[in-house]
Amino acid sequence: MGDRLGTVGDMDLTESTIGRWSGRRVLVTGAAGLLGRAVTEVVLQRGGSVLGLDIAWTDANRIDAPGVVEIAGDIRDRDLLDRLHRDERPDTLIHLAAQTLVGPAVEDPIETFSTNVEGSWTVLEACRAAGTVERIVVASSDKAYGDAGGRPYRETTPLRPAHPYDASKAMTDLLGRTYAQTYGLPIAISRCANLYGGGDLNWSRIVPGTIRSVLEGEAPVIRSDGTFVRDYLYVRDAATAMLVLAQAVGRRPAVRGEAYNFAAGQRLSALEMAERILAVMGSALRPRILAISRNEVPVQRVDASRARHELGWRAQVRLRTGLARTVDWYRTYFGAAAS
């Protein structure tokens, strides 16, 4: 894939890789979430429209834009999904909805499995029954690989999750492959690194939690011992990855049932990430390390070379730029909340 990258908004993309989406109706599950909102923005910029399904629409995450229909509902509601396909006839599905937090997954694995696994098969069954969806991306996660002993995750790395959230994403991953291979649905699976960006209101995560603490004049908190290493991917890069993958699976049968890693090669420990945020914000505060987290993989490294070679995708936003944009978003958010 030798396409050169052009420009769309603040991102470099190629027309032949992501394409124009004019006239397309895209069902985005989990549309109120961090990635769902970013995917919606890119779809609108490319000329498409979005049916945004989410159980948790609020005034804080509402998308007020032409071309977006916000739908409040649960992905486990088969009747709702059938009505959406019958009445709205989406031609593309980006399935992002999930319970995404490790801690709550440990405390309540049943709800996590129900949302992430039952929810996924309900979404895919509705697509199978409708028979009109031309491209589907199912969001798995790098967490599905489990602990690889610090070795880079490649798509050939076995999925060996050991904890509830990780296992739920591995099961979602396998459901996507099953529906592609058994029923011929045009499904591809994404496995993204840790996402960050403006709009993430889950304060237990290192990026939004650190930024909020600094804005409130408090020392940021690191729940682990600070040494856990993650790959970090700016959310806008992840959003474009979803559309690039959707475009590919709609055009190329060989992509059906296949999984692709998406990462930027920006690997930091939790302490290093907190320190980068503090530097961007010009803060002299120092993190408090609690060392209380459990059931997390110590080192995760994601190899995204397959996506570069086969899809023509690569991350565009460097860490400092992404963090600066993220900090700006939260400054505006908390400024508006205080006014």
Active site residues: 165
Q: State whether the Cα torsion 99-106-159-207 is positive or negative.
A: positive
Binning the chain into helix, strand and coil, the percentages to the nearest 5 are 45, 20, 35
16 to 3, 21, 24, 94, 249: CA distances (angstroms)? 7, 12, 16, 20, 14
Q: Tokens in use for 251?
A: 């055009």
Q: Is the separation of the CB atoms in 260 and 189 below 8 Å?
A: yes
DSSP string across 161-182: --SHHHHHHHHHHHHHHHHHHH
Residue the block writes with tokens 């993989």: 297
DSSP 188: E
Residue the block writes with tokens 């496995």: 191
Q: Is the separation of the CB atoms in 231 and 194 below 8 Å?
A: yes
- Alpha-carbon gap, residue 313 to 206, rounded angstroms: 26
Q: Is the separation of the CB atoms in 235 and 263 below 8 Å?
A: no
How far, rounded to the nearest angstrom, does the alpha carbon of residue 102 sit from its chain's CA centroid? Answer: 15
The phi, psi pair for 27, rounded to 5°, reads -85, 115
Q: Tokens in use for 171?
A: 């099961």
DSSP string across 83-119: HHHHHH--SEEEE------HHHHHH-HHHHHIIIIIH
